[in-house]
Amino acid sequence: MRAILALTSLLAALVLTGCTEEARESLRPSRTGCYFTTGAGETHLTAEQASNAATIAAVGLRDGMDERAVAVAITTAMQESELVNVNYGHDDSLGLFQQRPSMGWGTEEELMDPVYASFKFYEKLRRTDGWEDMTLAEAAQEVQVSAYPELYRQWEDEATVIAAVFAGGLDGGIGCVKGSADVVAFDPAALAEAYAYQWGGEVSEAEGSTVVIDPSDAAAGWNRAAWAVARSYDFGIASVAYGGMVWAAGEDGWSEPDAEADGEAAVEIANDSHAAVIITFAAA
């Protein structure tokens, strides 16, 4: 109660004194997490949710599934776990998709691995006849056999936006600012290992403070750039460059660097990024 009264008094004082823009800014909540923007709309995820969504998308693309399949998977995980890899659920359900060891999905350890859990989801989706012609919610239900199938519908629009960014080759559709995930010491080799596990391919370079990924085309490049931005909290990533554009840690958008404002090094990286995704790390 005292805290509320103090804040109320502060607000009143600011109003009476003409409240400067600087003071107003200090009272605004800090932007956190990751922001997704497409022509179809906008949505927001926490750093943890975005990282898990990026993994789901990478596994789907790795295994030959398309953007729509990724949207089905993300719709499902948003309903089942809110895109958080929880180690509990109804009966023995657990993980991103709340899959059950007792129903043959895998062991507890396997289902707590987002890569394995995503693989198992797509495996069943692929075996579902006609899923491509279903709504996202209907396809999710065919895989999950939920007692509450109508609940999947509420996530369709958000999942469509997220899938477009992670699997649709959309340029600059994601930016991440301040996150709550624990930041680990930067390690290009660890990111390269994660990339190989999730995408099923190798990076072209992982040394010093840089990882370079050579995509097959522009769509693949933006998919991998989005994945890297979403993993920025996990791996201490300072910037991601692709297509002549750069995203920097703490920014919710991509920009074309300017030599005067950002320095010659930033412009050089952006120029080199037309053909490759260039990931740089924060200082140790």
pLDDT digits (tens, 9 = 90+) for 84-133: 999 998 899 999 999 999 999 999 999 999 999 999 999 999 999 999 99
- For residues 57 and 118, membership in a common domain is answered with yes
- For residues 78 and 119, membership in a common domain is answered with yes
What predicted TM-score, i.e. pTM, was given to this entire model?
Answer: 0.87
Q: Are 209 and 203 in contact (CB under 8 A)?
A: no
Q: Is residue 23 part of a domain?
A: no
Is residue 14's pLDDT more than 50?
Answer: no
Q: Are 229 and 165 in contact (CB under 8 A)?
A: no
**pLDDT tens-place string over residues 147-183:** 999 999 999 999 999 999 999 999 999 999 965 545 5
Is residue 13's pLDDT more than 50?
Answer: no
Name the one residue in this structure whose structure tokens are 């950002």: 262
Q: Is residue 192 part of a domain?
A: yes
Where in the sequence is the domain holding 244, given as residue range(s)?
Answer: 174-281
Tokens of 211: 């990882």
Distance of alpha carbon 261 from alpha carbon 31, whole angstroms = 23
Q: In Å, how far from its chain's centre is CA 98? A: 19
Q: Is residue 35 part of a domain?
A: no
Q: Are 163 and 70 in contact (CB under 8 A)?
A: yes
Q: Is residue 137 part of a domain?
A: yes
**Which of 9-18, 199-208, 270-279 has the highest average model confidence (pLDDT)?**
199-208
Tokens of 24: 């107003």
Distance of alpha carbon 55 from alpha carbon 177, whole angstroms = 19
- For residues 159 and 194, membership in a common domain is answered with no
Q: Is residue 34 part of a domain?
A: no
Q: Are 195 and 223 in contact (CB under 8 A)?
A: no
- For residues 181 and 161, membership in a common domain is answered with no
Residue 132 gets which letter from DSSP? G
- For residues 120 and 195, membership in a common domain is answered with no
- For residues 210 and 263, membership in a common domain is answered with yes
Domain boundary among 149, 167, 185: 167
- For residues 116 and 181, membership in a common domain is answered with no
- Within 8 A by CB and 6+ apart from 95, the residues are 81, 85, 86, 87, 89, 111, 112, 114, 117
Q: How confident is the model at residue 29 (pLDDT cuts 50, 70, 90)?
A: low
Q: Shortest CA distance to 50 belongs to which of 80, 89, 77?
A: 77
**pLDDT tens-place string over residues 254-283:** 998 876 556 666 677 777 778 899 999 876
Q: How many domains does the chain have?
A: 2
Name the one residue in this structure whose structure tokens are 């295994």: 63
- For residues 114 and 211, membership in a common domain is answered with no
Percent of the chain with pLDDT over 70: 82
Q: Is residue 68 part of a domain?
A: yes
Q: Is residue 111 part of a domain?
A: yes
Domain boundary among 152, 167, 182: 167
- For residues 232 and 269, membership in a common domain is answered with yes
| The predicted structure's pLDDT at residue 179 | 56
Scored b (16 or more CB within 10 A) or e, 85-109 reads beeeeeeebbbbbbbbbeeebbeee
**pLDDT tens-place string over residues 60-80:** 999 999 999 999 999 999 999
Q: How confident is the model at residue 250 (pLDDT cuts 50, 70, 90)?
A: confident
Other C-beta atoms lying within 10 Å of the C-beta of residue 174: 30
- For residues 203 and 234, membership in a common domain is answered with yes
